[in-house]
Amino acid sequence: MTVEVIVCGGCGAEFGVEARRLEELRETGETFYCPNGHSRRYTVGPTKDQKRIAELERSLRSAWERAGHWQQAHREAVSMFRRCPLCLEVVTRARDEERIAARIAEHLIAEHGARPRMRAIPVKTGTAR
């Protein structure tokens, strides 16, 4: 078995935790104790859905960028973007990409627990034409 040495953030004591157990602790955010009895826990990272959303934000962003370059692709992309990328529900019938982006963002937030700020989706399209 592999043991990883970690440091208690409370007292600075170094102690070994079995790697598999450590991974488990990181995933679950479960409380554990340093040799001096300080309770420690890892902040649980993004959930699967949130990770998926982050991925989608990235792919949406590049798709939006590509779409900006080719009108045809752009039109196709716009109709594609009317669907929620997670549950494939058609979220809006809007034609205006700003409005579609806003609806999708609202839907992701309301239905899938996305964080309110969808950086990938240009809520305001500044100089794009």
Catalog residues that contact Zn ion under the rule CB under 5 A: 8, 10-11, 13, 34, 36, 38, 84, 86-87, 111
Nearest distance from C-beta of residue 7 to Zn ion, angstroms: 9
Cβ distance to Zn ion smaller for residue 59 or 128: 59
In the complex, least distance from residue 48 CB atom to Zn ion, rounded to whole angstroms: 15
81, 87, 92, 98 alpha-carbon torsion, rounded to 10° = -40
> Which of residues 33 and 70 has its CB atom nearest to Zn ion in the complex?
33
Collapse the DSSP code of 16 into the 3-class scheme (helix H, G, I; strand E, B; otherwise coil) and give the result.
strand
Return the structure tokens found at 85: 């990328």
CA pair distance 119, 109, nearest whole angstrom: 13
Minimum CB separation of residue 41 from Zn ion in Å reads: 13
